[in-house]
Structure 1
Amino acid sequence: MAIGGALMAGAASAQPSPAPTTQQPTSSTPPSPIITDRDFEAALPPVEAPVEAPANPVASSAQPTTATDPDLTKPLVPLDDFNKEALRDDNGSGKTETSPSLSYRWHVAGLENLRDADREAPIEGGALVDSFEAVSALKQGKGKATNAAAIAARIEQDRQALSDVMASQGYFDAGVQSSVAMPEQGKPGDIVVSMAVTAGPRYRLGAIRFDAPALVPPDLLTRHFGVHSGEPIVAERVLSAEAALGVLLPQSAYPFAKIGQRDIELDAATGIGDYTLPVTPGPRSRFGDIKIKGRRPVFDARHIATIARFRKGELYDSRQIDDLRKALVATNLFATVTVDPAQTGISAGDNTEYADLVVNQRAGPPRSLSAQAGYSTGEGIKAVGSWSHANLFPPEGAIIASATAGTSEQGVSGTFRRSNAGLRDRTVEVSLSANHTNLDAYEAFTGALKGRISRASTAIWQKRWTYSYGFELIGSNEQDYAFEQAGERRRTFYILALPGQITYDRSNSLLDPTRGYRLSATLSPEASLGSNIQTYARSIFEATGYYPIAGKLVLAGRARVGMIGGASRESIAPSRRFYSGGGGSVRGFGYQELGPKDPDGHPIGGRSQAETSVELRYRFGNFGVVGFVDSGQVFTSEVPTFNSWRFGAGVGVRYYTNFGPMRFDIATPINRQIGESRVAVYVSIGQAF
């Protein structure tokens, strides 16, 4: 027999398969037993006797029956005059009678201990049972039915479902028998429905053929088809292999390929089924031009070509189209956007044609508001809110206004940012800001003009190498402690900095890594301008690593070293020195609390620092717990000396969201000293590292 489009995946449908088009092996299924009301009489509740029919119910057409009821001779009442009140089945008592109900039990035999006759290999009978029960009418009825006919209909439906499930595993000749056992007359009990499956031979794939013209490479279909001759004809595997070809062909320069209707010719004598699949590949294609479509397009073809990772003339690959669509969605500028290939019929050489890309786009709202807040011991409460127009200067030229309010920091800033600036994921940014900072270490009124060019990882593409470089022009009036004056002093600094950073990332996640590592280096040559120009260089080196121990248990570690060389500590603005302590540094201590201090116990910063952190993270669902030990210190020397090393330890909880984990940590200093808090609390978004 020939099996075409009716090949099922498991028991996804209980509908009968189409009739075969050629010879079919004789089925071993016996006829279904007839379930009549007489069979169920003992289980049925008593009902009123039916009204006796007249002796001659059908009158001759030559002598029609005469109506004896005078109401039948009256004219029909207009429809509008009918009483439209719904009928009630409560006999005027207000209580609705329940329908009579039969109870039944059912079971299926013959699935659990199936064996492959040719190879003596056990078959997953439990999976067959699960597939059948997913569509079983008897199971869905939950052991209750209103009458015998309902049970009979469910039995017949389940017989067909069992046949389909067996056919999905290659048992096309499987037989299904059913029987019904009634309770004794006059005694309560359940009706017992039994179904027995006789598997019969299991058919295997014979020849596998593809009805298709020559492709490039010639073995493109045969090499990637997921099933092979000799395997049992399992619907799920066959359908999965066909779906894989439907994905493979557009990835292999055939964007217009179509998979036809399969044909499996079964031979009952040999138990072999020869498989044929028609494939219409369409023209082998190369990327053509980008065409814009839509009432309110956001980007022109030139900018979309900048975002794309392919160029005109390259062989078509649907994965590149998926990447482009994701990148367009990630700009957050579209209400809807699609990217589809279109045939052109224009030769691209080498027996290929150009396939244009039609980008259908509709603009979304470009303006947005955002806010975030956090708290940490020493720094206090801090809230940041921002307003942005993401496409005020097309393409992707955004204006962002933000404000910061907190117990130790207040400020405003304005930023111009152009994303995908001439290159995918390259950002050009210029900002102007004014801030007031009041910390234990110093107080500063600062204005800054900053510019930066960066290439960073994104949510859809985590890059191995990222970088940034730029400039900073800073004017800052700062107050700190002067040892030579034995008191507070206020100075104004004018600073030019040229910071640069490079990162190598081999971790498996941008927001919540569980394996791999990251290496980062930052170098910032700086000059403090004024009557006495000072030049120096700030450098920071950091490494993080993540190692899965077992299951959801991850060991994470961090090491950081910072150095300033070329100037004395006193000549460096307090805001440019190194400090340690706080939620992103050494937990257990207040913000900037570690390191050298003035006579009043306030930190004064240093020219070098060293920090380490070790975390044991365990996640369960959307929540997680963390135990950690942090350590570090700030030093007056240019290079860390690692003396007076301090430790903090604590625990934390995490709540995992789509934009990263929310973090709550509580820690305490080890070997606490005078003036240090017993407990430090940190609340923020994102892992500590």
Structure 2
Amino acid sequence: MRVSTGRHYWLAFALVAASPAVGQFNQQQGTAPARGPDAPKPTPTPQATTAPTPADNAPIVPEAEFDAALPPLSGDINAPLEPMPKGQPAAATPTTAQLPLVAADGSLPAAAPENPELAQPLQPLASFDSAPLQTAADIKDVDAPQIRYETVLKGLEELKLADEFKSLSALQEGKGKAANATQVAARGREDEGLAVRLMKSLGYYDGTAVSLIETVPAADATQPGSLRATVTATPGRLYTLSSVNIEAQPVTPPDLLTRNLPLKVGDPIEAARIQGAEANVSLVLPQQGYPFVKVGERDILLDDQSPKATGAYTLPVDTGPRSSFGQLTTSGDPVFDLTHLNVFPRFDGGDLYDSRKTDDLRDALVATGLFSSVAVEPQRTGRTNADGLEAVDLLVRQTKGPPRSLAGSAGYATGQGFKAEGSWTHRNLFPPEGALIGTVVAGTQEQGASGTFRRSNAGKRDKTFTAIASANHSNYDAFDAFTGTLSARWSYVSTPIWQKRFTYYYGGELVGTNESTYDFTQGAKVRRTYGIVALPGQVEWDTSDSLLNPTRGYRLRLNLSPEGAVSGAVRPYVRAMIEGTFYYPVSTSLVIAGRAKAGTIQGIARDDLAPSRRYYGGGGGSVRGYGYQRLGPFDPNGDPVGGRSLNEFALEARYRFGNFGIVPFIDAGNSYESSLPKGSDLKFGAGIGGRFYTNFGPMRIDVATPLNPRPGDGKVALYISIGQAF
């Protein structure tokens, strides 16, 4: 930027002349005294030796004569004007000289003849050329003349600022093209300031930068007349912290501020480091009982006179009172009353305030899907507890959202065919959080409908009561079944915002089913009706880092279901299944995942079991490469009949690059007629999968082939679904 240092002064002169001088001027109009170095020297006049006479001070016009010439004035401002004198000519002007203003009879003079041009009609607006004047800036499609230039950067590579400079550079943004050399020079000056700012961000406050625009020699130029813009940066000395001072009230513990402001004497005065340290104070103190902390404006006093360049750092911090949780209050359009709101907090009144628990409360409310907006804000109360902490109430601002939603999913798997599922949900038909869900399943081999009542956060956060009534038709190689089910279940499960280590469910089922089964005594397929009562339960221990896409940790799951079947006779039995998975990160992009599973049914013969309650192997969630439910014993027709035991193993290498991934895998397993699984006669499948990672989980496409196929097994199996295989 250029600043002009020139100044202009204006001088005003007032010339006052006595009356004789005025008279002399009037007598010699049109002459002026000679000026300049060649002008004749004025002849000195003798000074008056006598005092001025009274006549010299006499007025030009006597006062009495002046007053008599004035017209009489009226003191009434509303009085009418005096009539104009008749027959008096107006003052002489170049255009009206000697013309009477008013005729002798008092009439006005005749109007001047009308100009004929004024009587012509106006030109239509449409005939005007309304196109604006085109300037060089308005030319979009015309190829404007351009010059080429190259950019050279010096001095920032050592500071590792070259990449950041290039991403922000005006010269780089121009992509080596400009209208003229002046534009290139302007971009160079802009980049000078950029280089200085970048150096200051690392603590080089004496840094300077200059830009040079020069013509590239013809021998080096790729195009005649091209320019080279060189930006040279000189960092100068690095400034470091000579002291770190925090101006704040006493806190508990005493080192809370200094421990969470990770700055020390000798650290470079680096902008990102200092801003990050201050942000850490703003983040950590609300987690340690100070919800109203305010970090003030830092002050860094630089010392550039000492042999070592330093800066004294001072940070004012208003911590506010140390506080504990009080009670919940609410405002706005209420979705939940205070009774149900108090189900969500993971803290008790009197606990030390922690902003993470406040955020968790808000996330849990958002997860209900019943709010269009919800906020949780700490409010000062002025109440002091016995421990000296101020009680802070949490104000929940509620705004209702739409309670109804539609959802759908679709997939395909070899052996299962296409399957589509749609649902309608009213999440708060029976407040609070009493949902009604209607579901329809349509597929090539499965059709059905169900109605579900679900009470979420039933007396305890994340505890859910579910009741289901369903009717379903399944037509697979293993069985063809028409099934009706009534079930109820209590569950305590993980959610996307709060993944729990320990989860469980328990409940009861009443099942009525009519199924086709192969009767080995008759040597033919028959249909039988079964009545089943079951008390299923599950416990799980989960240390993984994600529900849908785990990359580390492990999971252990145990299912146990005492059951009784009625089909001509009452037969009690127990179904049990244990499963473990692990996830080991080899690197940030590669995860090794493994799974082992074993199941058993005790207390009943296989042929007395309803086919839908037996164990089957094969398919996308089992041993890939084999058809759905096609691992295990077969009847004489070549259809699977299932078994009373099962074992499965899987190993995957999940390699991810960006939002995509490749997963080679190998699976093994089988189902057995015996009540305990065997280690022999395992069937192996291998393949490769593709993953597309989204914000709600990975999309999975797996292609597999059986490694030791049996007669009738396909060569390739395809599986498409959402989520990892395990």
User: Structure 1 length normalisation: TM-score?
Assistant: 0.81
Identity of aligned residues (%): 51
Give 3-state SS (helix, strand or coil) of 2:236's partner. Answer: coil
Deviations 1:409-434 (A, max 9, x none): 22111000111111121111010111
Alpha-carbon distance in structure 1 between the residues aligned to 2:124 and 2:262: 67
Aligned to 1:243: 279
1:19 corresponds to which residue? none
1:157 aligned to 2:202? no
Structure 1 residue aligned with 2:398: 361
- Indicate how the Cα distance of structure 1 residues 33 and 581 shifts in structure 2: closer, same or farther if over 3 A, else same: farther
Which segment is superposed worse, 158-167 or 303-312? 158-167
Answer whether contact 2:244 2:263 (CA < 8 A) is retained: no
Change (3 A) 1:208 1:431: same
Which of 291, 307, 320 aligns to 2:329? It is 291
Q: Is the 8 A contact 1:581 1:587 kept in 2?
A: yes
**Residue 136 (structure 1) aligned with residue 169 (structure 2):** yes
- Give the superposition deviation at 1:550: 4.3
**Alignment-derived partner of residue 171 in structure 1:** 204
Amino acid at match of 1:419: S
Question: 1:26-65 counterparts in 2 under 5 A?
Answer: none
Aligned to 2:381: 344
1:219-258 to 2 correspondence within 5 Å? 219-258=255-294
Aligned mates of 1:465, 1:257 — CA distance in 2: 36
Do the aligned partners of 1:380 and 1:406 also contact (CA within 8 Å) in 2?
yes
| Count of residues in correspondence between the two structures | 603
CA distance in structure 1 between the partners assigned to 2:313 and 2:467 by the alignment: 63
Aligned counterparts of 2:693 and 2:407: Cα–Cα separation in 1: 19
Corresponding position of 2:234: 198
Q: Paired residue for 2:160, among 118, 123, 126?
A: 126
**Mapping of residues 401-480 of structure 1, within 5 Å:** 401-480=438-517
Is the CA contact 1:89–1:97 (under 8 Å) kept in the aligned structure 2? Answer: no
Contact 1:89-1:96 at 8 Å conserved across structures: no
Aligned position for 1:507: 544
CA deviations 1:20-65 (Å, max 9, x no partner) are xxxxxxxxxxx9999xxxxxxxxxxxxxxxxxxxxxxxxxxxxxxx
Cα 1:313–1:587, aligned 2, differ >3 Å: closer, same or farther? same
Cα separation, partners in 2 of 1:161 and 1:440, compared to 1, 3 Å: closer
Alignment of 1:482-497 (within 5 A): 482-497=519-534
- Distance, in Å, in 2 between the alignment partners of 1:201 and 1:436 is 80
Within a 5 Å distance, the mapping from 1:266-345 to structure 2 comes to: 266-270=302-306, 271-294=309-332, 296-345=333-382
TM-score, length basis structure 2: 0.77
- Compared CA separation, residues 126 and 641, structure 1 to 2 (3 A): closer
Task: Determine the C-alpha separation between the residues in 1 that align with 2:153 and 2:525.
Answer: 89
Q: 2:104: which partner in 1?
A: none
Which residue identity lines up with residue 126 of structure 1 in the other structure?
K
CA spacing shift, 1:417–1:97, aligned 2, 3 Å: closer
Matching residue of 1:85 = 130
- Alpha-carbon distance change, 502 to 104 in structure 1, aligned in 2, over 3 angstroms: same
SS in 2 for 1:450: strand
Q: Letter of the 2:200 partner, please give it.
A: A
Distance 1:157 1:615, change over 3 A: closer
Which secondary structure state, in structure 2, belongs to the residue aligned with residue 349 of structure 1?
coil
Root-mean-square deviation over aligned CA pairs? 3.0
- Pick from 182, 189, 211 the counterpart of residue 225 of structure 2: 189
2:275 alignment partner AA: L
Aligned residue in 2 for 1:594: 631
The answer on 1:582 being equivalent to 2:615 is no
Contact 1:33 1:179 in 2 (8 A): no
| CA distance in 2: counterparts of 1:177 and 1:668, whole angstroms | 66
Q: Which has the higher contact order (CA 8 A, sep 6+)?
A: 1
Q: CA deviation at 1:98?
A: 6.8
CA deviations 1:117-173 (Å, max 9, x no partner) are: xxxxxxxx222x334344433333444555665455444433333332222222222
* Deviation readout 1:385-423 (Å, 9 max, x if unpaired): 111111111121110011112222221110001111111
The whole-number CA distance in structure 1 between the counterparts of 2:202 and 2:610 is: 76
Instruction: Tell me the secondary structure at the aligned position of residue 454 of structure 1.
Output: strand
Query: 1:13 matched to which residue of 2?
Result: none
Deviation at residue 529 of structure 1 after TM alignment = 3.8
SS at match of 1:239: helix
Deviates more, 1:194-203 or 1:377-386: 194-203
Residue 46 (structure 1) aligns with: none
Instruction: Assess if the C-alpha contact under 8 Å between 2:185 and 2:213 holds in 1.
Output: no
Aligned CA distance change for structure 1 residues 340 and 596 (closer, same or farther; 3 Å):
same
Deviation at 1:577, TM superposition (A): 1.3
Query: Is residue 111 of structure 1 aligned with residue 147 of structure 2?
Result: no
* 8 Å CA contact 2:188, 2:212 repeated in 1: no
2 CA distance for matches of 1:384 and 1:97? 57
CA-to-aligned-CA distance 1:88-116 (integer Å, 9 cap, x gap): 4489xx99877665655443433334xxx
- Report the counterpart of residue 609 of structure 1 in structure 2: 646
Query: 1: CA distance between counterparts of 2:398 and 2:311?
Result: 48
Structure 1 position 207 matched with structure 2 position 252: no
Equivalent residue, structure 2, for 1:262:
298
Do the aligned partners of residues 640 and 193 (structure 1) sit closer, same or farther apart at CA in structure 2, a change above 3 Å counting? closer
Q: In the aligned structure 2, how far is the partner of 1:378 from the partner of 1:152?
A: 70
Post-superposition CA distance 1:248-291 (Å, at most 9, x none): 12111111111111111122233221111111111111112212
Sort the Cα spacing of 1:533 and 1:276 in 2 relative to 1 into closer, same or farther, 3 A: same
Counterpart of 2:586? 549
Select which of 550, 571, 576 maps to 1:534.
571
1:51 corresponds in structure 2 to: none
1:390 aligns with 2:424: no
Q: State the secondary structure of the residue aligned to 1:514.
A: coil
Residue by residue over 1:581-602, the C-alpha shift from the partner in whole angstroms, topping out at 9 and shown as x without a partner, is 2221122222211222222122
Give the unaligned 5+ runs of structure 2.
6-117
2:673 match:
636
Which amino acid in 1 is paired with 2:209?
Answer: V
Alignment of 1:520 onto 2:553: no
Q: The residue matched to 2:606 in structure 1 has which SS?
A: coil
Q: Distance in 2 between matches of 1:581 and 1:95?
A: 64
Task: Check the 8 A contact 2:184/2:229 in 1, yes or no.
Answer: no
CA distance in 1, matches of 2:241, 2:207: 17
User: Following the alignment from structure 2 to structure 1, what is the Cα–Cα distance between the partners of residues 257 and 181?
Assistant: 53
Quick one: structure 1 residues 99 and 591, their matched pair in 2 at CA, closer, same or farther if it must change by over 3 Å? Answer: closer
Q: Which residue of 1 aligns with 2:69?
A: none
SS of the aligned residue for 1:462 comes to coil
Between 1:369-378 and 1:517-526, the stretch displaced more is 369-378
- Supply the distance in 1 between the matched residues of 2:337 and 2:143 (Cα, whole angstroms): 67
Moved more, 614-623 or 383-392: 614-623
Q: How does 1:89-104 map to 2 (within 5 A)?
A: 89=134, 104=149
